[in-house]
Structure 1
Amino acid sequence: MKITLKKRKLASGKISLSIEYYKGSETTPEGKRRHIRENENLKLFLYGDPTNPGEKKKNKETLVLAKKILAIREAEFYQGRFNLKNTAKSKRRFLDFFIEKAEEKSDSQNNYGNWTATLVHLKRHIAPGTVFEEIDDAFVKRVRNYFDKEARTKSDLPLALNSKYSYFNKFKASLRLAFNEGYLSINYAAQAKSFEQAESQREYLTFKELQNLSNTPCKYEVLKRAFLFSCLTGLRWSDINAMIWSEVRDEDEDVIRINFRQQKTDGVEYLYISKQARDLLGERKEPQDRVFVGLKYSAVYNNEIVRWCNRAGISKHITFHSARHTNAVLLLENGADIYTVSKRLGHREIRTTAIYAKIVDKKMREASNLIPTLKF
């Protein structure tokens, strides 16, 4: 099939745009050759003889739009709209495809964890033999309803709103990938409505609590240094764990920075750090050596953070990621503007950082004491 953009001049002088689908030719009973064409009227028009800059600009914009529609129609053709489906792909089992995509995320601990957690639920709801040709709008709606009404946690509780949001988005991501790779002829992910994301509570340490923690022994010295370094810099666990000495730039005594690529976003970052944060790194080693040797993601280390906090008299549920929250709050409390904090944390959107601003809103805190004391 050949798909082309066609122009037809109208009696009014304007030019009508359409897309022609040429499907070849056939021989009629009379022995004549007949060409098979179908046309799609785009209801877009060009000025046949533009007389001013405005009309010329409109023609240019309309033609760009028509070419974009043409590109979409060509993509739909190759995705199987015109009965040219890849039957081998349509017969592939959906769960096998999801497992493959989950494994591709194994480089990112957090992202991989979300994909594998989603897979656990999908296996409970989707029959193992379900293939792509069985996927339709009703199928997607049933999966969404499962996450919304039926899915349970290990403690047999309904899923929290953020869990529904995360799991269903991973399911949608797999549908989007399946469409891009030709397993589906319709992008169901674009049509499926996501769950709303709830604002999560961000546990952090006050400066006094951080001071107490730094004076309290931790069973694993590398864990203590890495956690305190995160509190002072805002770096994620994944970036701290992957840090090598070539990324640490001691330009002079007062200018120290980390040049690294974020594990989560793959963005290149240049982060200035304090001398105290640099002291936590220890003595410089070979360029390709890890800075925090022996640091690892494990239940043992996670549990030690809790015990370490308990020994410091801190009853909050603190995780390694709480160090990042601590850094954001301490920066804002000590005068850093929200844009600077956002850049230091590597946030792509300022609204992500704005959540921390709520925590340190001094005006709200002051307002709580504006009403005079009642005499009971």
Structure 2
Amino acid sequence: MEYYKGYSIDDNGKQIHDRSFDYLKIYLHGNPITTTEKNENKEALKLAENILTLKQAELIKGTFNIENNDKGKFLFLDYYNKLKEDRYESKGNYDNWEAALKHLERYCPPNIAIKDIDENFVKGFKKYLHKEAKTNGDTLLSQNTKYTYFNKLRAVLREAYAEGYLNTDVVKSVKGFSQGESKREYLTHSELQALSETTCKHAVLKQAFIFSCLTGLRWSDINKLKWSEVREEEENYRIIFRQKKTDGIEYLYISQQARDLLGERGGNNDKVFKGLKYGAHFNAEILKWCMRAGISKHITFHSARHTNAVLLLENGADIYTVSKRLGHKEIRTTQIYAKIIDTKMKEAANSIPDLKISNI
């Protein structure tokens, strides 16, 4: 049985045809003489035609899979691990896949095959995440964590369906978790001013944090920033870097003050922020630094990125520009910040004239 998969054109302009074959191991008598031989040929041809019919049905409907009949026997957890490892370069996403896997290992039998996954399995895992799954601190999962972990299962099963490991899209009719709206802590301009005037135990931490507030760069991009990525173009300054989270190339203009924070230029391969470390000690120092500045909010390094978004929007930058500067793939991610600083809501709060209140 021949499978024709189209053709490509090589460097010389020649058509290269792509074909593969299944050997059916069905034989015909070359010169049938007896009635028996003729009947055997007739039955062999009928069998071959039946196989062809089934194969055509598979190609049209994806149902009667003969060539890939063993795909469904592939162990589900092994398949999940394969897709997880494909995402190794995306650190944050990979960690989420790893965390979701731990819950899948607790929920499902280790030897379950992909073909045995059905709608009830999917619904059962959703129920497990909602009512049984616990964090390392022995608390139930947050709404956004349930949303993230369940979506990993959905992604795996949809991939399995697309690749022919499953005959039906078992997640199609199962509704996922809704995404919860997380609180994004940020600093106001006056709070950032107070922080700028307050001593921080680690000068490089203060330098990097305020730089993030002025530019919106993530910790991961600031930590790996090299002088070769800092460009001086006439009267402007730009950072041209590969964003670690998305692997996309970003071209980010920065202000004169942001450039001044970086100090004297070093060698092209030198890190801009030398001695910057990520860990419990530096995280605790940010909180102590804030307390010394009179700020009681739970501020983390990532709060600097939130601060940048809010300050840009409050000072007239349009939401599309802010989205591009932050490297967001979707504008709805940036709209969360717009909700924080909704000017109309502020105006509405003060729109009712003052009352003359007495005898209270």
CA distance in 2, matches of 1:127, 1:275: 59
**1:38 maps to what in 2?**
53
After TM superposition, give the deviation of residue 215 of structure 1 in Å: 1.7
**1:350 maps to what in 2?**
331
Q: Kindly indicate whether residue 73 of structure 2 is the aligned counterpart of residue 128 of structure 1.
A: no
How is 1:237-248 mapped onto 2 (pairs within 5 angstroms)? 237-248=219-230
Partner SS state of residue 208, structure 1: helix
Q: Kindly indicate whether residue 119 of structure 2 is the aligned counterpart of residue 137 of structure 1.
A: yes
CA distance in 1, matches of 2:191, 2:302: 16
**1:275 maps to what in 2?**
256
**2:18 maps to what in 1?**
none
Q: Deviations over 1:309-331 (max 9, x none)?
A: 22221111112111111001101
Q: Deviations over 1:89-121 (max 9, x none)?
A: 645443344345445544444223322322232
**1:300 maps to what in 2?**
281
After TM superposition, give the deviation of residue 251 of structure 1 in Å: 1.4
CA distance in 1, matches of 2:283, 2:91: 14
2:147 aligned to which of 165, 171, 182: 165
Q: Kindly indicate whether residue 95 of structure 2 is the aligned counterpart of residue 95 of structure 1.
A: no
2:185 aligned to which of 192, 203, 206: 203
Q: 1:331 to 1:99 in 2, by over 3 A?
A: same
CA distance in 2, matches of 1:178, 1:116: 18
TM-score by length of 1: 0.75
CA distance in 1, matches of 2:248, 2:351: 45
After TM superposition, give the deviation of residue 158 of structure 1 in Å: 2.7
Whether the aligned pair in 2 keeps the contact of 1:237 and 1:321 (CA below 8 Å) is yes
CA distance in 2, matches of 1:157, 1:348: 32
**1:85 maps to what in 2?**
68
**1:148 maps to what in 2?**
130
Whether the aligned pair in 2 keeps the contact of 1:2 and 1:23 (CA below 8 Å) is no
Q: CA RMSD in A?
A: 3.2
CA distance in 2, matches of 1:3, 1:311: 72
**1:63 maps to what in 2?**
none
CA distance in 2, matches of 1:220, 1:179: 52
After TM superposition, give the deviation of residue 166 of structure 1 in Å: 0.9
Q: Which amino acid aligns with 1:38?
A: T
Q: 1:75 to 1:200 in 2, by over 3 A?
A: farther
After TM superposition, give the deviation of residue 283 of structure 1 in Å: 2.2
CA distance in 1, matches of 2:327, 2:231: 19
**2:306 maps to what in 1?**
325
After TM superposition, give the deviation of residue 147 of structure 1 in Å: 1.3
1:286 aligned to which of 267, 277, 280: 267
CA distance in 1, matches of 2:268, 2:61: 50
Q: Kindly indicate whether residue 231 of structure 2 is the aligned counterpart of residue 221 of structure 1.
A: no
Gaps (5+ residues) in structure 1? 5-21, 41-69
Whether the aligned pair in 2 keeps the contact of 1:302 and 1:320 (CA below 8 Å) is yes
Q: Which amino acid aligns with 1:285?
A: G
Whether the aligned pair in 1 keeps the contact of 2:58 and 2:64 (CA below 8 Å) is no
TM-score by length of 2: 0.78
Q: Which amino acid aligns with 1:318?
A: I
Q: Percent identity among equivalent residues?
A: 56
Q: 1:285 to 1:350 in 2, by over 3 A?
A: same
1:118 aligned to which of 100, 109, 133: 100
Q: Which amino acid aligns with 2:205?
A: L
After TM superposition, give the deviation of residue 188 of structure 1 in Å: 4.0
CA distance in 2, matches of 1:99, 1:3: 31
Q: Deviations over 1:233-257 (max 9, x none)?
A: 11112222222221111113x3000
After TM superposition, give the deviation of residue 182 of structure 1 in Å: 5.8
Q: 1:285 to 1:346 in 2, by over 3 A?
A: same
Whether the aligned pair in 2 keeps the contact of 1:216 and 1:312 (CA below 8 Å) is yes
Q: 1:219 to 1:170 in 2, by over 3 A?
A: farther
Q: Which amino acid aligns with 1:272?
A: Y
**2:9 maps to what in 1?**
none
**2:241 maps to what in 1?**
260
Partner SS state of residue 260, structure 1: strand
Q: Kindly indicate whether residue 39 of structure 2 is the aligned counterpart of residue 29 of structure 1.
A: yes
After TM superposition, give the deviation of residue 81 of structure 1 in Å: 4.2
Q: 1:118 to 1:357 in 2, by over 3 A?
A: same
1:212 aligned to which of 165, 172, 194: 194
